[in-house]
């Protein structure tokens, strides 16, 4: 789903949720929740059943959780709605496959401008096998991509061809990090940074977010 399609989907969902229904804004009278322009910052509920609008948009996959909690609903509720949308592959989450233990991943970083991400977790997400040979060579392979290299070495073999990397794999603590493009490019995938600091990584028909 493109950003334009997501915007259209959000507008359509808002019309469906709100048109012809009573609207209740929790916090509308709380001056502490107004911004400097006087706009209301509150939680919007609609209809006699008081449907939570932000939650519905998240669960339908036409909006994303911004990281800002809603002070008028319980903590974690917005993330729960978004998780429901992810699990249902709704809207913009079509093709999404989460990384295992994503929030516990070692932090990504940049090395000479190249984005470095944890190797093992991304290889497993790609349904590939990670092997470390007795001589220390690292092999990441599935039916679509095969990468062979030594840590800290620019010489590598990718899909059967020798290649000189512009940035080698690196070890930090107990974690091996790899330039994200080293896995994306051989698999004809895509990796790009998003405005909130996440990394979008696509492989074949599925994609994920690296926090």
Q: Is there a single domain that holds both residue 135 and residue 56?
A: no
Domain stop point among 59, 93, 127: 93
Domain stop point among 93, 127, 160: 93
- Which residues have CB under 8 Å from 66's CB, separation 6+? 196
Q: Is there a single domain that holds both residue 33 and residue 51?
A: yes
Q: Is there a single domain that holds both residue 71 and residue 113?
A: no
| Residue 104 φ/ψ, nearest 5 degrees | -100, 5
**How many domains in the chain?**
2
* Predicted pLDDT of residue 42: 75
Q: Is there a single domain that holds both residue 112 and residue 67?
A: no
Per-residue pLDDT of the chain (211 residues; tens, 9 = 90+): 566 677 788 889 999 999 999 988 887 666 665 666 666 667 889 999 999 999 999 999 999 998 888 878 888 999 999 999 999 999 999 999 999 888 788 899 999 888 999 999 999 999 999 999 999 899 999 888 889 998 888 899 988 889 888 888 998 888 999 999 888 887 788 999 988 788 999 998 899 999 8
| Residue 156 φ/ψ, nearest 5 degrees | -150, 170
Q: Is there a single domain that holds both residue 83 and residue 110?
A: no
According to DSSP, the residues that pair with 137 across neighbouring strands are 150
Domain stop point among 63, 93, 123: 93
Q: Is there a single domain that holds both residue 142 and residue 171?
A: yes
Q: Which of 118, 168, 171, 172 is nearest to 148 (CA)?
A: 168
Q: Is there a single domain that holds both residue 76 and residue 134?
A: no
- Which residues have CB under 8 Å from 129's CB, separation 6+? 123, 139, 140, 141, 142
- Quote the domain boundaries for residue 198: 102-210
Instruction: Report the CATH number at residue 34.
Output: 2.40.50.90
According to DSSP, the residues that pair with 171 across neighbouring strands are 176
Q: Is there a single domain that holds both residue 19 and residue 86?
A: yes
* Predicted pLDDT of residue 189: 87
């Amino acid at each position: 789903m493109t950003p334009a399609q997501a915007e259209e989907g959000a507008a359509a969902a808002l019309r469906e949720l709100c048109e012809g229904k009573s609207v209740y804004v929790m916090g509308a009278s709380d001056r502490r929740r107004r911004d400097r322009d006087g706009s209301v910052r509150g939680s919007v509920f609609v209809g006699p059943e008081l449907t939570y609008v932000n939650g519905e948009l998240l669960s339908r996959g036409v909006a994303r959780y911004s990281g800002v909690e809603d002070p008028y609903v319980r903590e974690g509720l917005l993330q729960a709605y978004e998780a429901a949308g992810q699990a249902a592959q709704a809207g913009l989450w079509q093709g999404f496959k989460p990384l295992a233990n994503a929030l516990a991943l070692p932090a990504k970083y940049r090395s000479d401008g190249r984005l470095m991400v944890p190797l093992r977790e991304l290889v497993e997400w790609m349904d590939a096998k990670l092997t470390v040979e007795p001589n220390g060579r690292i092999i990441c392979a599935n039916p679509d991509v095969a990468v062979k290299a030594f840590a800290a070495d620019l010489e590598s073999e990718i899909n059967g061809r020798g290649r000189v990397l512009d940035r080698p794999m690196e070890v930090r603590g107990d974690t091996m990090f790899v330039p994200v493009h080293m896995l994306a490019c051989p698999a004809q995938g895509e990796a790009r940074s998003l405005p909130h600091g996440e990394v979008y990584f696509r492989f074949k028909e599925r994609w994920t977010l690296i926090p």
